[in-house]
Amino acid sequence: MKSTSLKSEAMDKLNTISFLFSMATKNFPNIKSVRALCQQGSRSDQGADCHDVDDDHWLNCGIAPIATPMSSHPQYCRTRKSWGINALGTLVVEVEADDGTVGVGVTIGGEPGCYIVEKHLSKFVEGQDPRNVELMWDQMFKGTINYGRKGLPIQAISAVDLALWDLLGKLRNEPVYSLLGGKTKERLPVYSTTARPDIAQKLGFVGAKIPCCYGPSAGDDGLQKNVEYFKSWREKVGPDFPLSLDCYMALTVPYATKLARCLEPYGIKWIEEYLMPDCYDGYCQVRENLRASSILLATGEHEYTRYGFQKLLESRCVDIIQPDITWLGGMTEARRVVAMASATDTLVIPHGSSVFSYHLQYAFNNCPLAEYINLSHKADQIVPYFGGLFPDEPLPKDGFIDLPDRPGFGVTLKKDNLTRPYARAIEDSRKNALANLQKLNPVKATFPF
């Protein structure tokens, strides 16, 4: 009897231990290393930099002029690459976990961005639990604040952050949109940014956006040419095909107002990024000037972090914000911006960024439409946004983008033309990891503010 009782007691303990193990959460590997890569030599494949194209590509004014902030300088008005729009090139970040799983994120930033990632941002990532995306983002942002806030440092943070989300999806064997809360729509419609809206219409896109050809420095003659250019495309695609205008920071408040009023009879859907990004008061003034207009106002492609978007949203100066997910701070910051936008009923239609924006848009209701920038030479074919960087990048078809059921962002990095200019020794990564693993836990509880 005693032996039977001991066996029964042992079985109870085993069952209790088994139950406790079954209740425990999944054991996640920590982050082992961070690597920053860029393209070397001739960059005929644009990678993450959509402007790094051939000289006669439509995005470099190969089909029609394109107005830019540099249009007022004669030596730089004929092409966009003449003033170095593609100066930095691609930045790719790999984040590898202890078990060998690798997440990938991209942005523009090239070799300077690689330096920031390897020499600084890795400090806040190596050794961390990959689930702690909020902690790492906060440390990277605050750690770079003395030289950051916008531009290149935030782009570098974006690439690291996207790599973390890709890694998380792979470790959990789920698409990123599932990590964000799951799908809010079964299919995502797509419009095309292009020099050939007639071809975009034939390819099934639900609308098109064309570049503004001339800025204020071209005078009244340039204004009239802009109107005629838009009018000619409206006649080609018909009255019911949504057609918008991308002004790429090239205009002024009076010019944008006048141009919008001239284009309204031709059914323009929205006018986009008509002022410099920091001209917040100017955006408010254009809103007031066009208060009775049916034209939607859009901007945000070159805005960074929630702090910049807060100004746009609180002032209600635009109807659509257009963050680039590979630039504004990655997925961690993008989801905050989307949530902020929902509180003001502002639509979010991200700039480019392909799979990185698609996953965000599937997960949030106020992201109803995706942008596909047509990067074929003559804007006449559907080609990958990231060139050959991701050979399995999903492409739009019949007006929709459908994401495959794959973990992470669902794409595979092709590293043939990538190098690591600031490679660090394994010991450097171990030192960072050790510092993050030896967390300083508070001993005494204090009121935190």
Instruction: Give the residue numbers marked as catalytic.
Output: 351
User: For residue 401, how many other CB atoms are within 10 A of its CB?
Assistant: 20
307/340 Cα distance (integer angstroms): 11
DSSP for 60-108, written as a single string: GTSSS----TTTTSGGGSS-SGGGTTTSS-EEEEEEEETTS-EEEEEEE
Task: List Cβ neighbours of 42 (8 Å cut-off, separation of 6 or more).
Answer: none
DSSP for 120-160, written as a single string: TGGGGTTTS-TT-HHHHHHHHHHHTTTT-SSSHHHHHHHHH
Yes or no: say if 362 and 403 are a contact pair by the CB < 8 Å rule. yes
Yes or no: say if 229 and 253 are a contact pair by the CB < 8 Å rule. no
Strand, coil or helix: 210: strand
- 330-342 helix and 152-172 helix, angle to the nearest 10 degrees: 100
198/203 Cα distance (integer angstroms): 9
